Structure 1
Amino acid sequence: MAEDGRPGPGSDRPERRRRPRAALTAYGLLLPSLIVLVVITGWPLLQLLIMSFQRFGREQVFGAPPEFAGLQNYLDVLTDSEFWLVLGRSVLFAAVCVVATMVLGTLVAIMMQKLGGVLRTIVSIGLLLAWAMPPLSATIVWGWIFDTQYGVLNNVLSQWFGLPFEGHSWLIEPLSFFFVAAIIIVWGAVPFVAFTLYAGLTQVPDEVLEAAQLDGAGAIKRFFLVIVPYIKPILIVVTILQVIWDLRVFTQIYALQSIGGLAEQTNTLGVYIYRVSLGTGDFGAGGAISVIVVLLLVSISIFYVRQSIKEESR
């Protein structure tokens, strides 16, 4: 240290030495998790990528050596009109589910903020029960509600309201099929959005809301001009996660098809990959479709990561 009390030129060396050690310690602690992640996720992805460049059918499943096909599987998929139809259908269906989930989840979160302690607890328990129910179990229950002969909904619409819905089949037509599927998916996704946004709403300062109210801002203006900017990072993250989850939905669609839907007219990406791979035995084409879907989801995930980094750097 210098005579005037200020640190000397070499006084910051110990601190500089500690930083590399701290970084090495952090990487060392992360290394086991990274190794497990690479083994569990990276190795199957590598096998999937290799399979997408091969002619891999039922013969290869039973031990026959696969043939290298180059980009032929990708060319076959990208020139197949059915793939583009399924992709467009999946994107449109995911968009509808995401919008409905975000709107309903936001409304439920606002309602939870306004409720008292007892009612909020009751609503939270109901949301947790809906969220905890496995997708297959939820689909079976909703399938009973929309059942053609014994469904509760048909009975209520026909007996109570006199509407011509007796014996109506909700799953035979693609539009009504996706209506039922959207209800099941949104019903299961709203709790996550509601709890997440409710946590964000509790962080909005009351002083800011009171100041906006004194300035004459109504409830709608306060929400869009005051609350939304505060919870914007949460809204972005939750929306992107919902897009990713709804694009790769499988269980609900496949179960509804098994109950009574027409697979050819109601396939989404997840079910389409399953049927191409196991139905036709063309695992190479199924692998190519899977890689395309992975690239699509990775592009969305990169946007999510960039948004998260931006918010952390502020």
Structure 2
Amino acid sequence: MVTAGPPRPTGALSHPPGSPAPHRGRRPARGGTASRARRAVPYLLIAPTVLALVAVLGYPLVDLVVLSFQDMTRRELFAGTSPPWAGVSQYRTVFTDAFFWEVVGRTALFTVVVSGVTMAGAMLIALLMRRVSPWVRLTMSGVLVAVWAMPVMVAASVFRWLVDADFGVVNWLLGQLPGVESARHNWFEDPWQGFAVIVAVVVWGALPFSAITLQAALTQVPPELEEAARVDGAERSQIFRHITFPVIKPAFVMVTTLTAIWNFGVFNQIWLMRSGQPEKDYYLLGVYSFIESFAVNRYSTGAAIAVITVLLLLVGAVVYVRQLVRMGEAE
């Protein structure tokens, strides 16, 4: 006769007598430590770059802000003494100066024109590179990289020679046209013509980055979508507006924002094209700040203009960061 044994213990009684009951519902401490370590890795990787930026840019920026609230003259500069505190008088002087607002408007107009011309030319070049044969595309990429690598001083010297009043190629070419008299024409006598030359110099240096970036973005456009639209009878402009551009829009907006930020702070091209002595009609914010600081020796006023310029550039930087965040969330 077989008898049933005693029932096996379950639950908390399933462990041997005298042994501690196992802990349930707890994660091992090792897992939490590993998770925190993984979250800390990105910050550790970018820490050297952040520290370098703080060391290189942080101290000069703080010193610039402090200087804008002081009244630095050559006496304090040569004597090495601390300049007197002036409060917001420098900013009051700047904001009540009509010429400052004229320079701000000129800088904004210059930024819009240069950025628009750059992005339009870059888009046309990118679309052209998409349609040509591979070896032509490779040649165009090499030329763009060579232009990008050209120093600003060299580019400014080339353009100064092109529009030279006595030996310029542009004047010579225009003189070949019937009814056009361009001998000894000074392109910088009229600020509009002078800024046209400066715009050409800036666009020349900015096109390669924008065109190569947009060309890379165009490679992400599915060709089957464009082919289907073409079969349905869509025109090229409609295909570009409804299919191509929505795909490359994030890259286009990002490059446009970066280009606008760079163009807002243009200094080298104007300074070099005017041989270090730009007229007031050619002042942008960067040039105006430099002139006030080192030519007129109003160091604190120049510092205040520079701080205002930095704040305006930060607005563009905030827009750029928000676009990056939105692009990351979309992905």
Q: Letter of the 1:159 partner, please give it.
A: Q
Aligned to 1:68: 85
**Equivalent in 215, 236, 253 of residue 219 of structure 1:** 236
Aligned to 2:217: 200
Please give the TM-score of this superposition, normalised by the length of structure 2. Answer: 0.89
Contact 2:270–2:278 at 8 Å: present in 1 too? no
Question: What is the SS of the residue equivalent to 1:204?
Answer: coil
Pairing 1:66-145 to 2, within 5 Å after superposition: 66-145=83-162
CA distance in 1, matches of 2:178, 2:272: 30
Contact 2:286–2:309 at 8 Å: present in 1 too? no
Question: What is the SS of the residue equivalent to 1:55?
Answer: coil
Q: Letter of the 2:62 partner, please give it.
A: L
Deviation at 1:58, TM superposition (A): 1.7
Contact 1:172–1:262 at 8 Å: present in 2 too? no
Deviation at 1:11, TM superposition (A): 5.0
Matched, 1:168 2:185: yes
Q: Letter of the 2:26 partner, please give it.
A: G
Q: 1:289-313 deviations in whole A, cap 9, x for unaligned? A: 1110111010111011011101101
Q: Which consecutive residues of structure 2, in runs of 5 or more, have no partner in the other structure?
A: 1-10, 12-23
Matched, 1:272 2:316: no
Q: 1:178-205 deviations in whole A, cap 9, x for unaligned? A: 0000111111111111000000000111
Bigger relative contact order, structure 1 or 2 (CA pairs below 8 A, ≥6 apart): 1
Aligned to 2:297: 281
Q: Letter of the 1:152 partner, please give it.
A: V
Question: What is the SS of the residue equivalent to 1:68?
Answer: coil
Deviation at 1:14, TM superposition (A): 4.9
Question: What is the SS of the residue equivalent to 1:67?
Answer: coil
Deviation at 1:12, TM superposition (A): 7.6
CA distance in 2, matches of 1:312, 1:186: 30
Question: What is the SS of the residue equivalent to 2:176?
Answer: helix
Question: What is the SS of the residue equivalent to 1:84?
Answer: helix
Q: 1:27-67 deviations in whole A, cap 9, x for unaligned? A: 23332222111111111100101001000122222113201
Q: How many residues align?
A: 307
Contact 2:229–2:239 at 8 Å: present in 1 too? yes
Question: What is the SS of the residue equivalent to 2:108?
Answer: helix
**Equivalent in 225, 244, 262 of residue 261 of structure 2:** 244
CA distance in 1, matches of 2:134, 2:66: 55
Aligned to 1:293: 309
CA distance in 2, matches of 1:227, 1:68: 57
CA distance in 2, matches of 1:103, 1:92: 17
Q: Letter of the 2:38 partner, please give it.
A: A
Q: Letter of the 2:53 partner, please give it.
A: L
CA distance in 2, matches of 1:19, 1:11: 12
CA distance in 2, matches of 1:31, 1:246: 29
Question: What is the SS of the residue equivalent to 1:69?
Answer: coil
Matched, 1:44 2:93: no
Deviation at 1:262, TM superposition (A): 5.2
CA distance in 2, matches of 1:73, 1:222: 54
CA distance in 1, matches of 2:291, 2:133: 49
The 3 A distance-change label for structure 1 pair 24 and 118 is closer
Q: Which consecutive residues of structure 1, in runs of 5 or more, have no partner in the other structure?
A: 3-7
CA distance in 2, matches of 1:163, 1:128: 36
Pairing 1:147-162 to 2, within 5 Å after superposition: 147-162=164-179
Matched, 1:312 2:324: no
CA distance in 2, matches of 1:122, 1:103: 21
Q: Letter of the 2:101 partner, please give it.
A: W
Question: What is the SS of the residue equivalent to 1:217?
Answer: coil
Deviation at 1:19, TM superposition (A): 1.7
CA distance in 2, matches of 1:240, 1:211: 32
Contact 1:146–1:170 at 8 Å: present in 2 too? yes
Taking only aligned residues, the RMSD between alpha carbons, in angstroms, comes to: 1.7
Q: Letter of the 1:198 partner, please give it.
A: Q
Q: Over alpha carbons, which structure has the higher Rg?
A: 2
Percent identity reads: 36
Q: Letter of the 1:212 partner, please give it.
A: A
Question: What is the SS of the residue equivalent to 1:149?
Answer: coil
Aligned to 1:263: 279
CA distance in 2, matches of 1:196, 1:264: 36
